[in-house]
Amino acid sequence: MNIYDTANQLAQEIKQSEEYKNYKLAKQTLNLNTTIKEKMDRFEQVRYESQIVAMQTGKQDEEKYKEMQEIYAELIKIEEAKRYFEAETKFNIVIADVNKIIGEAIRDILQK
């Protein structure tokens, strides 16, 4: 088996995982409600902008961060949004773990 076959197999296993399926379903459910979707889109936009500022300046934009917290506080009260955030977190943990495993496997050539 070559590395590309292994990568394709991993991709298929990720798509078959409960974390992926739950995240996909939560996202689809969220998208059915335009009001929630609009709030979620705004939250994602502010989160993205906040991350960009933090990466560029090394500092948190307090105004953006406060806005993000306020939107999140509204969203977390909505069951569909709460499920989405939980599913997103669990899926991101899986992806981070996979990345960590791959990173550890090649660490010796990445270190100076």
CATH code of the domain in which 64 resides: 1.20.1500.10
Which residues, 6 or more positions from 68, have their beta carbon under 8 angstroms from its beta carbon? 43, 46, 47, 50
Dig out the tokens for 64 from the structure.
Answer: 């953006």
Give the predicted TM-score (pTM) of the model.
0.84
Q: Which residue bears the tokens 């406060």?
A: 66
Q: Check whether 92 has a pLDDT greater than 90.
A: yes
Long-range contacts of 57-66 (CB under 8 A, 24+ apart): none
Residues 12-67 have pLDDT tens digits of 999 999 999 999 999 999 999 999 999 999 999 999 999 998 889 888 889 989 99
Assigned domain for 23 exists? yes
Structural domain range at position 80: 16-110
Assigned domain for 76 exists? yes
CA dihedral 87, 91, 96, 99 (to 10 degrees): -170
Assigned domain for 36 exists? yes
Assigned domain for 1 exists? no
